[in-house]
A and B are shown apart, each in its own frame.
Chain A
Amino acid sequence: MFNFLRRFTYQFKEYFLLVILIVISLSFLASNEKPEVKKIRTFALGSFAAVNNFLNFLTGVFSTDPSIDQLKEENARLMLELNRLRKQGVENQNLRNMLSVPDTSKYDLIAADVISKLVNKIQGNIILNKGSNDGIQVGMPVLNSNGLVGIIADVTDNFSVTKTLFNSSLNIAVTVQNINVDGVLSWNGSELIIKNIPTTYEIKVGEKVETSDFSTLLPPNIPIGIISKKESLALGLLHTIYVKPFADIRSVSNVFVLKVVSSRQINQLEMNLMK
């Protein structure tokens, strides 16, 4: 019996090894959120990000100009301010006496460079060269001079991981600017979509989409993109809206982290939902 088992194991040793390694991999997948695993990941990410940072410096050595970074930061501030004012203008017309819009222009911006990217159709991740030492926390929005890029998902001392809009695990509460229709923006692997919007709303192609007042994870009025097309579902009761982002997320190299410190408890809850 023992000999048979030994021969059997030897004969199929490749398969046994494969099964064992698959089981170990799956157990790692299941334990991603454990503090010990997170600690190891943070250490490894921080160590290797330094190598990436150096390589990134070498590749970008001919294109760095500090004045351009300053102008980009100013541009990002102005973009937020403009969008806030535009929103207030529309709301002033419709709801003169009921205005209560949070002031997004007061948030600090932290300039950061993208040092590496994990390119994938399903999960877009970028690594930034700023971390908790610079005041970055999990859940802070990341944007460039055109609009929202993503959200901070993981932070080490000097580096941080951002989930971009092109990430299927990121769902954001958004609103269509002129008609105040709310929905949830998500990535379907090829496009950004807002599903299940009732056809009773007259949504036009070209209208702007921004973060919603309902989201406590992201401040309201951060521009995201414009509606590129809309599709009616079979019964004609609901729309699926396709959004083209303002920010060119695939080629983004300089970003700003919006230093928003909102309720930690709500942040935690929303980050749990996002996972």
Chain B
Amino acid sequence: MIWNFIKPVLIFIPLAALQLVVIPLISVYDISPNLIIILIIYFTLLNGQIYGTLLGFLLGFIFDLISGGMLGASMLSYTISAFIAGYFYNENKIDINTTSLLFVLIVFLCGTIYSFIYSSIMNVNPDVSLLKLFIDIAILPGLYTAIFGLPIIIFKPKKGIV
């Protein structure tokens, strides 16, 4: 059980460094992909909703600490996103969920939800209309993140296909 958490945490460390250093270089008008959410969704689809929710909470906590952001914001956003991703978990369809286009759709959905929750928490300015900016702050980052989920379904070996 502990190994189930250690493995994603070990992957998370270099991924978080990439997220903070390299990803800003490819961001377009502050819209950037989120590699951490891809990691969380992938492991949620492998191990289930409860595991995913706990993993989202744990990785969100670490990310808040190392990113200089507000402590609790990523924690909450990743927890809820992972919980929603957990609804797509099916013990008998793990391979289909993680190697088909459905995975990209889940990443898009959860990436959008993450970005919206995170932006809502971070916003303290009443002049900022979150609903007016919904496309900019939620859908576009979700879409960009989904594109980065494509390599997983392309390169992950598919089982049971002759």
Contacts and interface: CB of A to CB of B under 8 A. Distances in A.
B4 interface: no
Interface residues of B, number: 53
B86 interface: yes
A64 B86 CA distance: 45
Interface residues of A, number: 53
Interface stretch (A25-33, A98-106, A224-232): A25-33
B69 A189 contact: no
Interface string A165-192: 0101100000000000000001111100
Interface stretch (B73-81, B90-98, B104-112, B146-154): B73-81
A190 B65 CA distance: 27
A37 B80 CA distance: 23
B30 A44 contact: no
Interface in B126-153: 127-130, 133, 136-137
B57 A21 contact: yes
Given A21-B53, A25-B76, A189 B68 contact: no
Interface stretch (A47-55, A81-89, A210-218): A47-55
B79 A18 contact: yes
A260 interface: no
Given A44-B65, A45-B65, A122-B128, A168 B122 contact: yes
A116 B24 contact: yes
A125 B130 CA distance: 19
Contact of A45 (B68, B128, B133): B68
A244 B27 CA distance: 19
Contact of B53 (A17, A27, A121): A17
Given A48-B66, A116-B21, 14 more contacts: A26-B72, A32-B70, A32-B71, A44-B65, A45-B65, A55-B22, A116-B67, A119-B30, A119-B32, A122-B122, A127-B20, A154-B68, A168-B123, A189-B123
Interface of B: 13, 16-18, 20-25, 27, 29-32, 49-50, 53-54, 57, 60-62, 64-73, 75-76, 79-80, 83, 86, 118-119, 121-125, 127-130, 133, 136-137
